[in-house]
Homo-oligomer: A and B are copies of this chain.
Amino acid sequence: MRYLVTGAAGFVGSHLTDALLARGHSVIGYDNLSTGQERFLDAARRSDRLRFVRGDILDSSTLRGAMKGVDAVFHMAANADVRGGFAAPRVDLEQNTIGTFEVLEAMRDAGVMRMVFASSSVALGEPDVVPTPEDCAIPRQTSLYGAAKMAGEGLIAAYAEGYGFEGYAFRFVSLLGPRYPHGHVFDFVKQLLADPTVLRILGDGTQRKSYLHVEDCVRAMLHIAEDRRTPGTPGTFEVFHLGVPACCLVRESAAWICDEMGVSPRLEFGTGNRGWIGDSPVVFLDVRKAMSTGWAPQHSIEESVRQTVRWLLGNRWIFDRR
């Protein structure tokens, strides 16, 4: 099979590209390298079944050119800077909402009907029900990123209804693992490398969050949207929550990070239980629907955090990238 992966040089996209190649498939890796890292594709580039196309999803002519002969699209490209949304509100609209529309239109133009979409727990705002199931109440959006991800889901569902697309949206919790490019583990390790005596934590430390190892995430998507799909079922749209069936306190995560780095900093907490505007104090998804398909995460949160720290310590270039 031939897949197009948008955001192929990103955190999730590059792991997905590796996994698709390992299964013997061909991959068009599409990325504008705005935040993606070419070296994330170093392993993949050793395969002659990878074709890398440097392009923006908003550049519909390049995108349409790359779409020829593709069986399915994994749409992972996005602005992933949730915190920065309110400083530049047009970014999430353009790169996430309009970007998803342009990918769908390029697919329609080329007759490609299957879309796997990286959505996010952020699109659930601050849910009343925890752990949060897929069919929770319509959220009140608290970030432009979340609003754009939910808008993307809506577009894909409509394309399923109107054009017979087959769509899968996976709402991830925050991901961890090799190639991890941003987030609290990144911030904590960076701080502790600069000064191992103090660790400043956004919020009061009571936030409870779930995390998933990126390889578990990729395995779930391939299991559900590839291995277990029913071929020839147009007009379907399914949403799955992906995470581990557990969560941790930010202070627990800080303790694992410090232990892994062998440091004992003084912890300085902020105030309030939100790290930034749009941060949800609790992120804990009900992942029973995904697990009922036979998928199960292989890494605990602690293992994922510790492995991420080790990867960051061995790849310090990531702190200095543009």
Contacts and interface: CB of A to CB of B under 8 A. Distances in A.
Contact of A138 (B136, B143, B151, B277): B136
Interface of A: 85-86, 89-90, 93, 97-98, 101, 105, 125, 134-144, 146-148, 150-151, 153-155, 157-158, 161-163, 237, 239, 277-278
A142 B163 contact: no
A141 B163 contact: no
A151 B97 contact: yes
Contacts of A139: 138
Interface centre among A89, A142, A161, A163, by most chain B C-beta atoms within 10 angstroms, is: A161
A227 to B, nearest CB: 23
Contact of A154 (B98, B137, B146, B239): B146
B136 A158 contact: no
B150 A162 contact: no
This chain's copy number in the assembly: 2
A178 to B, nearest CB: 32
A179 B138 CA distance: 32
Contacts of A157: 125, 140-142, 147
A126 B39 CA distance: 45
Contact of A140 (B101, B144, B155, B237): B237
A125 B158 CA distance: 9
A150 B93 CA distance: 14
Given A105-B89, A151-B97, A278 B158 contact: yes
A105 B144 CA distance: 13
Contacts of A85: 158, 162
Contact of A143 (B86, B125, B144, B162): B162
A158 B85 CA distance: 10
Contacts of A161: 140-143, 277-278
Nearest to A105: B89
Interface centre among A85, A90, A93, A140, by most chain B C-beta atoms within 10 angstroms, is: A140
Contacts of A154: 141, 146-148, 150-151
A137 B140 contact: no
6 contacts: A86-B163, A93-B155, A138-B150, A141-B161, A143-B158, A151-B154
A316 to B, nearest CB: 33
A100 to B, nearest CB: 10
A143 B141 CA distance: 21
Given A98-B98, A140-B237, A150-B151, 11 more contacts: A86-B163, A89-B101, A134-B138, A135-B137, A138-B239, A140-B157, A143-B158, A147-B151, A147-B158, A150-B154, A162-B277
A173 B258 CA distance: 56
Contacts of A143: 158, 161-162
Contacts of A93: 97-98, 101, 155
Interface centre among A98, A135, A147, A150, by most chain B C-beta atoms within 10 angstroms, is: A147
